[in-house]
Amino acid sequence: MVEKIAILDFGSQYTHLIARRMRELRVHAIVHPYNIKANEISDSKGIVLSGGPQSVYEEDAPFPDPGIFDLKVPILGICYGLQVVGKIFGGRVVSSKVREYGKMEFHVEDDPLFSGISPTTIVWMSHGDRLTELPPDFKSIGRTRNSEFAAIRSGNIYGLQFHPEVTHTAEGKKILENFLYSICEVRGDWKPSSFVDIAKEEIASKCIGGHTVLAYSGGVDSTVCSIIAKEVLGGNFTPVFVDTGFMREGEVEEIKNGSKELGLGVRVLNAKSRFLKTLEGVIDPEKKRLIIGREFASVFEEEATGLNAKYLIQGTLYPDRIESVSDVGPSHTIKTHHNVGALPEDLRLELAEPLKDFFKDEVREIARFLKIPKKFYKRHPFPGPGLAVRILGEVTEERLEVLKKVDHIYIKTLKELGLYDLIWQAFAVFIPVKTVGVMGDKRTYGNLIGLRAVDSKDGMTADWHHFKKENLNLIVRRILNEVKGVNRVVYDVSSKPPSTIEWE
pLDDT digits (tens, 9 = 90+) for 488-499: 999 999 999 889
Q: Name the phi and psi angles at 25, rounded to 5.
A: -95, 15
Do 397-491 and 192-376 fall under one CATH topology? no
Tell which residue, 375, 378, 479, 386, has the closest CA to residue 423.
378
The bridge status of strand 350-352 relative to strand 309-313 is: parallel
Q: Residue 4: what residue type?
A: K
Report the pLDDT value the prediction gives residue 125, as an integer from 0 to 100.
87
Q: Calculate what percentage of the chain has a pLDDT beyond 90.
A: 73
CATH architecture of 397-491: 2-Layer Sandwich (3.30)
Q: What angle do CA 168, 170, 172 make, to 5 degrees?
A: 90
Which among 274, 276, 275, 256 has a CA at the least distance from the CA of 266? 256
User: Strands across the sheet with 4-9, in order?
Assistant: 28-33, 4-9, 46-49, 75-78, 157-160, 151-154, 139-143, 92-108, 120-133
pLDDT score at 330: 58
Where are the chain's structural domains?
4-183, 192-376, 397-491
User: What are the residue numbers of the active site?
Assistant: 79, 163, 165
Question: Which are the contacts of 230, defined by CB distance < 8 A and separation ≥ 6?
Answer: 237, 264
Q: How many CB atoms lie within 10 A of CB 98?
A: 9
HSE-CB at 199 with a 13 A cutoff on CA atoms is: 32
Contact (Cβ atoms closer than 8 angstroms) between residue 403 and residue 392: no
Q: What are phi and psi of 95, to 5 degrees?
A: -70, 130
**CA-derived radius of gyration, the chain:** 24
C-alpha span between 319 and 240 (Å, rounded) = 23
Count other Cβ atoms within 10 Å, centred on residue 140.
16
pLDDT of residue 130: 85
Which CATH superfamily hosts domain 4-183? Class I glutamine amidotransferase (GATase) domain (3.40.50.880)
In angstroms, the CA 98 to CA 144 distance is 12
Per-residue model confidence (pLDDT) at position 459: 84
CA distance 443 to 300: 48
**pLDDT recorded at residue 395:** 96
Write out the DSSP string of 221-239. HHHHHHHHHHHHHTTSEEE
Measuring CA to CA, how many Å separate 437 from each of 262, 365, 431, 480, 489? 47, 46, 16, 11, 11
Measured in residues, the chain has a length of: 504
Which stretch of DSSP H or E encloses residue 415? helix 397-416
Q: How many CB atoms lie within 10 A of CB 331?
A: 24
| DSSP code at position 450 | E
Please count the CA atoms within 13 angstroms of the CA of 131 that sit on its side-chain side: 34
For the chain, list residues with pLDDT below 50. Answer: 324-327, 332-341
Which of 295, 303, 255, 301 lies closest to 275, judged by CA?
Answer: 295
Q: Which tens digits make up the pLDDT trace of 18-68?
A: 998 998 999 989 899 999 999 999 999 999 999 998 999 998 999 999 999
What pLDDT sits at residue 198? 85
Determine the pLDDT at residue 235: 86
Cis check for the bond before 498: say yes or no (omega within 30 of 0). Answer: yes
Is 346 exposed, middle or buried, given 0-12, 13-18 or 19+ CB atoms closer than 10 A? Answer: exposed
Q: Domain 192-376's class?
A: alpha beta
CA 15, CA 9: separation in Å to the nearest integer?
6
- In the prediction, which pLDDT does 323 show? 53
